[in-house]
Chain A
Amino acid sequence: MTVMERSPREIAASVLDPEMPLLTLEDLGVLRDVTVAQDGTVVVTITPTYSGCPAMATMRDDIAHKLHDHGYVDVEIRTSLAPAWSSDWISEEGRRKLRETGYSVPRPARRRPTTGPIPLTLTVQPRTIACPQCGSLNTILKSEFGATLCKAQYHCSDCLEPFDHVKEI
């Protein structure tokens, strides 16, 4: 009999995000639940960051493979869509890793009204963003959209470096 050295939770939590591999799925907040059913099946629940997140398939495969490699034969990966992922779910550990790698971390997400029309925002809500390279607050938003769905592009006017800001959602 194989000795399970690490719990399914620990294993699933250590799987890396395919698009930002400095973060684990737990750091990113996409790992919602890990349980073991009575028949021994490991049931892992993940949630996409955005509806079109192209990394979901890879995450699923990576979790299953890693659990298999550690001796867990029966693995079921479930998707959860509600509640919808929020950048608020990125852990403190995840934020620390993002900062160390040169990302600007999201501030608390804006609360949306639960009833009534969603207000239109005709002017860009300026964020006070510090350059992750030099700390300067003299930074410019280049685009609300970036290399992946979760990032906006900024530029530092002092050290002149571009950088990514993980968006509030």
Chain B
Amino acid sequence: MIDHDSAYDGLIDEDSHGQWAFGTSFDDPLAGVDTTVPDDVDLKALAAYCLMLGDDALISAQRLTQWSTRAPELEEEVALANVGLDLLGQARLLLARAAAADSDTVPFISATSPVPAEDALAFFRDEGQFRNVRLCEIDNGDFAQSLVRLLIFSTWRLAIFDRLRSSRDPVLSAVAHKGIKELTYHRDYAARWVVTLGCGTEESKRRTVLALGRVYPYVAELFLPTTEEMSLAAVGVGVDPRDVREEFDSVLAQVLHAAEIEIPTGSSVGTVGGRGGRGGIHTESMGILLAAMQAVARAHPEGVW
């Protein structure tokens, strides 16, 4: 019998599970969670919706992680990494939910692939299959730009998750109940920084105003509903993003007022034939982000340890 209290025994454990090298050994993050969906819910739409919410979190987490080793202060590096880890956790649950609702969403790797479904979704989809809004993928820019983006993202996502608590899908409801606790302090953290920067030095203000000017054109897309969002909102499973616009505007106005910064009035980034990030149309930044995120996993798709 192996004494599992000794770390060294693990090294000679011949009863290896053969876990995929790039995921965790936690085979199903939804194990034992009630995944029953009401009969009138379209599973394909539910899967697409979970991919949208999951991809928003995954891509945001990837951007936040890029601050590791290069944030202005150690405390802020730890903070940004913590926020990224929370979002990665949300992404994992949502991508697993998407795979459980519709296995057709999961890319086929090989018949012997050890890759769990949510990891296959994260590492083996191409750019056009990602459904995140473009706000999440644009470059980090400077610290001000990353914090302005985090403020906008967490304000929007918190308002949506707040409403998702009453979703008729038990998994979405549970993810939302858990997620709002996290998103609440993400938003508070980002809002405090935006106020600090806006009311700080001339230089911090200048940079924050510039940052808002770069990020704000991606706001309109957050409130363009997809057919899946509308159909799922109609049956009490999803949220129509248009319903949170007023709350979003009010929170952002409160923060920007305190930060002594005006809301930009410039035009928004357009869509291509009506499609934006949700429709698989991404910015130039996305390919570079995905290359960094996926290259190692794709080079060793069968890697186990």
Residues of B254-305 at the interface with A, using a CB-CB cut-off of 8 Å, are 254-255, 258
Query: Closest CB-CB distance, A145 to chain B, in whole Å?
Result: 4
Q: Is the CB of B24 within 8 A of A51?
A: no
Interface 1/0 per residue, A127-169 and B, CB below 8 Å:
0000000000000001111110100010000000000000001
Task: Choose the segment among A3-11, A22-30, A112-120 that binds chain B (4+ C-beta atoms closer than 8 Å).
Answer: A112-120
Interface 1/0 per residue, B240-262 and A, CB below 8 Å:
00000001001100110010000
Count: A-B pairs, CB below 8 Å: 123
Q: Is the CB of A51 within 8 A of B247?
A: no
Residues of B within 8 A of A73 (CB): none
Residues of A23-52 at the interface with B, using a CB-CB cut-off of 8 Å, are 45, 48, 50-52
Q: Is the CB of B181 within 8 A of A80?
A: no
Is B108's CB within 8 Å of the partner chain A? no
Name A52's contact: one of B90, B189, B251 (CB within 8 Å).
Answer: B90
Q: Is the CB of A82 within 8 A of B174?
A: yes
Name A143's contact: one of B29, B79, B88, B90 (CB within 8 Å).
Answer: B79
Residues of A within 8 A of B31 (CB): 77-79
Name A82's contact: one of B89, B158, B177, B247 (CB within 8 Å).
Answer: B177
Query: Closest CB-CB distance, B117 to chain A, in whole Å?
Result: 16
Q: Is the CB of A144 within 8 A of B79?
A: yes
Provide the bound-state CA to CA distance between A51 and B184, in Å.
14
Number of interface residues of A (CB under 8 A): 42
Is B195's CB within 8 Å of the partner chain A? yes
Residues of A within 8 A of B88 (CB): 52
Give the 8 A-B CB pairs with smallest separation, nearest first.
A78-B32, A52-B89, A51-B89, A81-B174, A57-B26, A143-B75, A82-B174, A145-B79
Interface 1/0 per residue, A41-82 and B, CB below 8 Å:
000010010111110110011100110010000001111111
Q: Is the CB of A124 within 8 A of B247?
A: no
Is B78's CB within 8 Å of the partner chain A? yes
Provide the bound-state CA to CA distance between A120 and B181, in Å.
12
Is B103's CB within 8 Å of the partner chain A? no
Is A20's CB within 8 Å of the partner chain B? no
Q: A78-B32, A83-B177, A122-B258 are in contact. List 8 more A-B contacts (CB 8 A).
A: A52-B87, A52-B92, A57-B24, A57-B25, A79-B31, A81-B171, A117-B247, A169-B181
Query: Closest CB-CB distance, A156 to chain B, in whole Å?
Result: 17
From B85, which residue of chain A is reached at the shortest CB distance? A52
Residues of B within 8 A of A121 (CB): 188
Q: Is the CB of A50 within 8 A of B24?
A: no
Query: Closest CB-CB distance, B83 to chain A, in whole Å?
Result: 8
Provide the bound-state CA to CA distance between A77 and B93, in Å.
17
Report 18 cross-chain contacts, Cβ distance below 8 Å, ordered by A residue: A50-B89, A51-B92, A51-B175, A51-B179, A53-B89, A54-B24, A56-B24, A79-B30, A80-B33, A81-B175, A82-B174, A84-B174, A118-B158, A124-B192, A144-B185, A144-B189, A149-B85, A169-B181
